[in-house]
Structure formats: C-alpha cells, structure tokens
Amino acid sequence: MNPYHIQNLEHYFQVYRHSVDAPEEFWQQIARENFVWQKPWDTILNWNPDTAEVRWFEGAQLNITENCLDRHLETRADKTAILFEPNNPKDPATHITYRELHTRVCKFANVLKAKGIKKGDRVCIYLPMIPELAISVLACARIGAIHSVVFAGFSATALSTRINDAKCSMVITSDGSFRGSKTIDLKGIVDEALQDTPSIENVLVVKRIQSEIQMKEGRDYWVQPLVEQASADCPIEVMDAEDPLFILYTSGSTGTPKGMVHTTAGYMVYSSYTFKNVFQYKEEDVYWCTADIGWITGHSYIVYGPLANGATTVMYEGVPSYPDWGRFWEIVQKHKITQFYTAPTAIRALAKENLEFVETYDLSSLKVLGTVGEPINEEAWHWYNDNIGKKRSPIVDTWWQTETGGIMISPIPFATPTIPTFATLPLPGIQPALMDEHGKEIEGNQVDGRLCIKFPWPSMARTIWGNHQRYIDTYFSAFAKKYFTGDGAFRDATGYYRITGRVDDVIIVSGHNLGTAPIEDAINEHPAVAESAIVGFPHDIKGNALYGYVILKETGETRNHDNLRKEINQVITEKIGPIAKLDKIQFTIGLPKTRSGKIMRRILRKIAHGESDQLGDISTLLNPEVVEAVIQEAL
C-alpha cells in the first residue's frame, strides 16, 4: 500500500514501524514518488547531534512553487487553488484557479525582481488575509527570496524588531485591512516601524481598503500597476534542498523573538505528507483552515501543504463574529467545506453563542474537523463533535509547533480512534520520548514527562536566524541529543499522547504563544513601574489569560489605578500588540523571590488561580513575608 496515503489503522502501524526502523528509506520513497525535483539528492539525511545540524535531501535541487503550481497545470489548471472569502459577506467570493495563481505569482515575482530582490534576500510580508498574502509568499519562494511573514496584528515595534533581526530589504503591506466592522491602518503601522529599519529599501503596497495613505517617494510603490505591467513569464530559481525558504518568528520565554529558519526540500515533503494524511484530503475536497498565514499553521496548512497536493484551499479575510456568530457556518454551507481546521479558542467562543447560529446552516459537507494551537478541553471537544461534526466527522487534535514545521502528533481520521483531549499517536517519522527531570527517558505507559523528539524529521527548523547557539541552547541542551519541545505530555495505557501544556515561561493565550519576559520588559518601560511579573490563569474562551503583578516605583502612588492599568496595557499594545494585553493587574508591594533573586512564578500562579491555600513550602524564599501581602491584595 502507498505510504503517502494511509488508509486504516493497520496501515498506519505498518507505515509507522517502517518509518522508525528505516527512516531514510521511508522519507526517500515519499520524496521520490510525490514531488518534482530538478536534481535528486546525494544523501537523504545528514545529522550531527552534537552541533544540532540537520540536513535532509542534500544535493537535491528544486523549487517549491514548481511543486505547488507548475506541475498542476497539466491536470488541474482550471481547478480552484485559492478560494477567497472576503470580510464582507455581501462581496462575492473569488475563485483563483491554478492557472491564474501561477500567472499572478510569476508576475508578482517579476515585480520583486525589478525592485532588486534576489535569491537569499529577506522580504517582510505584513498583509491581511487577502490573496496577495499567499501570492507574495509564493513569489518570494519562486525567486529564492526568504519570506518573513509578520502577523498583521503585531505592533510597529514588534514589526521593526523582526525586520531588523532578519535585515529585510523590503516590506510588502497594504493600505489597510478590514476586520469585521473595523478597518486597520496597516500602512500607518509600517511607516512607524520603518523609522528605524536601515535595511529597508522599498515598500510595496497593495490597495485593499481604498484609504488615503502617505506614500514616500522613491520608497513606496503601489503593487497593482506594477503587477499589471509585469511579464507572466518567470522561470523558477533552482534552489538547493537546504536553502532557506522562510523565517517565522516565535516567542521564547526570554529575550527577543526567535526567527525560526525553515528550509526548502524537507519542509515541502513533510508539510505535504502530513496535509494529505491528517486531513485525508481527496481531489474534490474544499479545505478550510481558519488560521492566519502570519502563523505557522497558515504557512503549512493554508499555503504550502494544500497547494503541493493540488487542493482547493480557502482564505477567509474576516473574523468569526462578523456580521454575526454564524459566519463560519455560513461559509461552510456556501462553499461546501469538507475539512475544517480551527483553534480551541475559536471553538470556545463559538460555543458560548446561541446554537441557532449553527443550526441555521447545512454542515453536511464536513468530513474532518481539526484543532490546533493549545490543548482542547473536553467540553469544547464535545461541543465541536456534537454540533459541528454531528458525531460523524472525526476530530483531529493536532499537536505541533512553529519549530516543527508540520503536524507531529495527531489522529489520522477514519484510522485512529479519537479520545477527547488526546492528540493520540505520532505521525510516521516522528519518534517522541518522555523525559524525567534527571534527563532520563521514561519508558512504558501511564507516564507523565517532558516531551522530546528523538530523531530528526524533514521539516524541523534548522536554526534560529543569526544565532545557532541560541537554537542549541533552547532546543538541544536540556536533554542530550534530543529536541526538547517545551511541552509536557502524558502517555496513556495504549500509548496515546495528551499534551498537558508548556513547562516553560511561555503562556498560550487564544492559541498565541506569549513569552512572559518580553511582556514584563514592556510593562517595566512605563515610568511608574519598578518591577513586574506575568503569569497565566484559566480563562473560559482564551484558554489562558494574563495576570500581571506590578510593583510601582512610588508606594504612595496617588494616581487612579484604573488609569494606570489602561496605560500599562497601552504600553504592551505598542510594544507587542493587543494580543498580549493583561486581563488582570494587581499592584503589589513585593514579589516572592528565591535566594538567588529569581521570581517564584509558581507561587504567583497559585495565587492568580485562586489556590493560595496550596502554596507548599515557602520557607526557602528570600522574602516569605511578602507572600501573605500578595494574597491579601489578590483580585
């Protein structure tokens, strides 16, 4: 049976076993039989665990857009590649065929070239969920430029930090974006960000909302007229397997965001393979992932994975609540969506609303439902299963990370029996291990531990842009020769995995990873603040919300504290973005610390969870006396 398409549980086990016994042979077959190569590889895997250097398919040459576009022109030229559903339901949806997408990517790529972009240059893309976002991503890949997509909800400061880290020479943005009933001035944010980004030479601006904006002469250009004049002939740049394809930033528990580098061949092979199997994709399907292309989910499972398989992939510009909470289901009915992939936070928000928003629509086209981004709680799982899947469509709870490039642990629909809150079994090629605090692997079942991956897989991030040492320190130093995920997990009696959550100082809020340190740094920039500490606490919809403990410089502070709370959230919005705003801010006289001066977040977490009666031993603290005060002040 074909390992590229897993048919049932027995087949899964057979394929999985082979992928562990002979990983190189396994991936070689997948790569050879399902993609087009300009030149085959000399070696399948080169791995040096001591330096955390991994290379897949070395010697091979290819272009990922040839695999996502050109090769489909023979058989699928008139098939819809991207189905664009605009923010306003009264505006018509757009069907972009493979032929048209190929032309638009080639033209866009020629515009990039005309503006001096060449292989290896970094291009920052800061766009809303409109077709030009996918097109500019593919245009970069076509000419070998490295794209760095920044989610268009990030602030000017966050954008400029990312531009400077990668030394991007161009930004692609739009005059603004539609978000429900609001518009957002993206170009204004870019202008602010570009005040301090010496590497930027040009800005390409897509017209979307027709707003009046400033165009800086000699720097800023409207995209559409340039594209219209551009030639539709753009041969692929022939790339080496390990040439970088993109950089995507993710928050760490400390320091600046990490620019995860994904390379060409391995990423293509793995994102395509997992798309095919995890969604059991078939030729006539209409697949919809509600993520934004600004995140890894959008890269792998809106753009590259679906297009490499010749799929129809939906891009939705708006939000789940506009014009009302029935919008997702209206779209499912209208386009007869077959696979629907979203985040637990969206499911929880939808589940709070009246069921009429669901029942009005015909959802019978759905075959597979997916979730990603954080653990899904049982209640949300059942609501999804009962009301959306009508107990007919399997739910794939997919665990993975920006760093892993593709889905790692997930059921295969119609093969793996699902259990709520379990991501279930590793996909072929993935070798998980649970580790104890002494660095030893925990064998057997019914065990909890830190989740590591023991053997390389094709789409793992190769390094952190410009800082390989940080890559080693973050991912390969906690446990010798193993990739450490930062997550905890439980393995049940049958070998199923349940992800229990982060074990570091990353908090997942509405599916977005937020490091505590950068938020604390932002708060501390407020002139009235002396020190701060952030922890997560449970939230009905967001999964976790942020709770800040803030020490003010003047203890006799007389200003209205509610104003100060607003100001603190304003600073966070400016430095990071509105997603990092605090739900609760407690002004406190002190923070519990260890004798070496580290903040004891464990205690702050308990207090924020309302569990101050379960603090355990606090006698070893530097300042145990502040704990009682912090409890008294708690909100």
Binding track over 385-424 against ligand WTA, x by CB under 6 A: ------------xxxxxx--------------------x-
Q: What are phi and psi of 165, to 5 degrees?
A: -60, -40
Beta bridge partners of 584: 547
Shortest approach of ligand WTA to residue 23 CB, angstroms? Answer: 23
Closest CA to 525 of 569, 477, 557: 569
Beta bridge partners of 549: 533, 586
Q: Rule CB under 6 A: is residue 548 a binding residue for ligand WTA?
A: no
Return d(Cα 26, Cα 457) in angstroms, integer. 11
Shortest approach of ligand WTA to residue 436 CB, angstroms? Answer: 19
**Which parts of 292-349 are beta strand (E)?**
312-316, 339-342
Q: Which is nearer to ligand WTA, 81 or 535 (CB)?
A: 535
When computed from its CA atoms, the radius of gyration of the chain, rounded to whole angstroms, is 24
Q: Which amino acid is at 577?
A: G
Q: Which is nearer to ligand WTA, 145 or 260 (CB)?
A: 260
- 343: tokens are 């985040």
Beta bridge partners of 288: 314, 340
Residue numbers 503-542 binding ligand WTA by CB under 6 A: 508, 513
Shortest approach of ligand WTA to residue 398 CB, angstroms? Answer: 5
Return d(Cα 55, Cα 628) in angstroms, integer. 53
From 259, 375, 515, 518, residue interacting with ligand WTA (rule: CB under 6 A)? 375
Tell me the window of 36-44, 97-105, 136-144, 366-374 that interacts with ligand WTA (CB under 6 A).
366-374
Tell me the window of 221-229, 295-303, 463-471, 604-612 that interacts with ligand WTA (CB under 6 A).
295-303
Is 580:521 a contact under the CB 8 Å cutoff? no
Q: Which is nearer to ligand WTA, 428 or 511 (CB)?
A: 511
Shortest approach of ligand WTA to residue 441 CB, angstroms? Answer: 20
Shortest approach of ligand WTA to residue 200 CB, angstroms? Answer: 26
Shortest approach of ligand WTA to residue 577 CB, angstroms? Answer: 14
Q: Which is nearer to ligand WTA, 157 or 250 (CB)?
A: 250
Shortest approach of ligand WTA to residue 278 CB, angstroms? Answer: 11
According to DSSP H, which parts of 144-242 are helical? Answer: 156-166, 186-193, 223-229
From 157, 169, 297, 338, residue interacting with ligand WTA (rule: CB under 6 A)? 297
Q: How many CB atoms neighbour CB 70 within 10 A?
A: 18
Q: Which is nearer to ligand WTA, 127 or 372 (CB)?
A: 372
Q: Omega into 323 within 30° of 0, i.e. cis?
A: yes
Shortest approach of ligand WTA to residue 402 CB, angstroms? Answer: 3
Tell me the window of 34-42, 46-54, 373-381, 425-433 that interacts with ligand WTA (CB under 6 A).
373-381
Return d(Cα 471, Cα 68) in angstroms, integer. 30
Residue carrying structure tokens 């396994």: 26
Q: Which amino acid is at 398?
A: T
- H or E stretch at 132: helix 131-143
Shortest approach of ligand WTA to residue 375 CB, angstroms? Answer: 4
Tell me the window of 103-111, 372-380, 524-532, 574-582 that interacts with ligand WTA (CB under 6 A).
372-380
From 34, 250, 312, 544, residue interacting with ligand WTA (rule: CB under 6 A)? 250
Shortest approach of ligand WTA to residue 396 CB, angstroms? Answer: 9
Give the largest CA-CA distance in the chain: 74
From 259, 266, 373, 406, residue interacting with ligand WTA (rule: CB under 6 A)? 373
Is 450:478 a contact under the CB 8 Å cutoff? yes
Shortest approach of ligand WTA to residue 321 CB, angstroms? Answer: 22
Q: Rule CB under 6 A: is residue 586 a binding residue for ligand WTA?
A: no
Q: Which is nearer to ligand WTA, 202 or 401 (CB)?
A: 401
Q: Which is nearer to ligand WTA, 197 or 485 (CB)?
A: 485
Q: Which is nearer to ligand WTA, 70 or 374 (CB)?
A: 374
Q: Rule CB under 6 A: is residue 502 a binding residue for ligand WTA?
A: yes
Q: Is 57 left (phi over 0), alpha (psi -120 to 50) or beta?
A: left
- H or E stretch at 602: helix 601-608
Q: Which is nearer to ligand WTA, 3 or 252 (CB)?
A: 252
Return d(Cα 143, Cα 139) in angstroms, integer. 7
Alpha-carbon 333 to chain mean position: 26
Shortest approach of ligand WTA to residue 403 CB, angstroms? Answer: 7
Q: Which is nearer to ligand WTA, 375 or 515 (CB)?
A: 375
Return d(Cα 123, Cα 214) in angstroms, integer. 21
Closest CA to 568 of 610, 618, 537, 531: 531
Alpha-carbon 492 to chain mean position: 27
Shortest approach of ligand WTA to residue 480 CB, angstroms? Answer: 21
Return d(Cα 337, Cα 587) in angstroms, integer. 48
Closest CA to 210 of 238, 183, 181, 242: 183
From 166, 296, 331, 591, residue interacting with ligand WTA (rule: CB under 6 A)? 296
Residue numbers 205-224 binding ligand WTA by CB under 6 A: none
Q: What letter would DSSP give residue 443?
A: P
Q: Which is nearer to ligand WTA, 80 or 250 (CB)?
A: 250
Binding track over 472-501 against ligand WTA, x by CB under 6 A: -------------xxx-----------x--
- 173: tokens are 């943005």
Return d(Cα 195, Cα 160) in angstroms, integer. 9
Tell me the window of 23-31, 39-47, 294-302, 624-632 that interacts with ligand WTA (CB under 6 A).
294-302
Closest CA to 436 of 454, 448, 425: 448
Q: How many residues make contact with ligand WTA (CB under 6 A)?
A: 22
Shortest approach of ligand WTA to residue 295 CB, angstroms? Answer: 6
Is 81:313 a contact under the CB 8 Å cutoff? yes
Packing angle, helices 601-608 and 625-633, rounded to 10: 30
Residues that bind ligand WTA in the complex, under the rule CB under 6 A: 250, 295-297, 372-375, 397-402, 423, 485-487, 499, 502, 508, 513
